[in-house]
Amino acid sequence: MVILHTKAVFFDLFETLVTEFTDGKRTINRSTNDSTLFGMNHEDFKKEWGNRQEARMTGQFVNFIEVMRNILEKRNLPYNEQIVEHLYRTRIEEKKAPFLTIQPAVIAMLEQLQSKHIKIGLISNCTEEEVQQWQASELAPYFDDAIFSFKVGLAKPDIRIYQLACERMGVDPGNAVFVGDGGSSELDGAYNAGLHPYHAFWFNTYITSRFKKLLHPEHLINQLP
């Protein structure tokens, strides 16, 4: 695919614009997976959590609380409202942390795009509690539109979520770029939807892809026709 003129750039969120890791290790240890509070071993909980990945990302569960309710019901375990509410609030705080320390290079990249009058959009696979801090973050003012999978009922790499993003932005996929770390096969999804993918390789360097790697956020602007 040959792009004639870049009219919009769409970004992934986690590990592209914000990161939850430092030197390959999660910055904040997850306490929301403390399944022992319910009498469930950790591996069983991880399996149940993973089995609901698509349903969580596409909003089939309203929030974390409903996911936990569903898991406990399936396991015939008692639902303790106080424990679940505590874990929900803890998870919100954990997911807020990456938004509080935005890398200056990421802001510089967004400012460069704005200076070129290129529209900026977000396409994120996420759940309700993961992005509660988005609107208050330093990132949000730079974006013309933000698509969260749980709100639209679609998740990457489904080509429909990229098509929806382009429709809402009023751009043809052939004139749009997608930048992401490559999780959830998002780069292939963008390519299949007709966008031009770039592999954000500045936070997460553990995912491989066939697409052009960008080693630093400020390298993006020089790649755009």
pLDDT the model gives residue 32: 47
Q: Do 108 and 179 share a structural domain?
A: yes
Q: What is the pLDDT of residue 2?
A: 57
In Å, how far are 40, 71, 99, 187 from 192, measured between CA atoms? Answer: 40, 34, 30, 9
Strand-pair category, 119-124 with 213-214: unpaired
Per-residue pLDDT tens over the stretch 132-146: 999 999 999 999 999
Decide which of 56, 82, 97 is a domain's last residue. Answer: 97
On whether both 140 and 166 belong to a single domain, the answer is yes
- Same domain as 219, residue 197: yes
Angle (CA) 152 28 85, round 5°:
60
Domain boundary among 97, 117, 144: 97
Q: Are residues 92 and 109 in the same domain?
A: no
Pair (36, 53) in one structural domain = yes
Q: What is the DSSP letter of 203?
A: S
Judge if 58 and 109 occupy the same domain.
no
- Answer whether residue 218 is part of any domain: yes
Same domain? 61 vs 83: yes
Last residue of a domain, one of 41, 70, 97: 97
The answer to whether 174 and 8 are in contact (CB under 8 A) is no
Q: CA–CA distance from 195 to each of 48, 129, 177, 180 (Å)?
A: 34, 29, 5, 12
Q: How far apart are CA 91 and CA 33, in angstroms?
A: 9
Considering the domain architecture, whether residues 217 and 119 belong to the same structural domain is answered as yes
Q: Mark whether 33 and 15 lie in a shared domain.
A: no
Residues of the chain under the 50 pLDDT cut:
32
For 74, the domain range is: 25-97
Tell me 170's DSSP state. T
Per the structure, how many domains does the chain have?
2
User: What are the tens digits of pLDDT across the range 29-52?
Assistant: 555 456 677 888 888 998 999 999
Residue 22 host element (H or E): strand 21-22
Cα distances from 196 to residues 124, 154, 188, 225, in angstroms, run 17, 20, 10, 11
In terms of domains, do 47 and 82 share one? yes
pTM score, two decimals? Answer: 0.94
CB atoms within 10 A of CB 110: 22
Residue 203 falls within a domain, yes or no?
A: yes
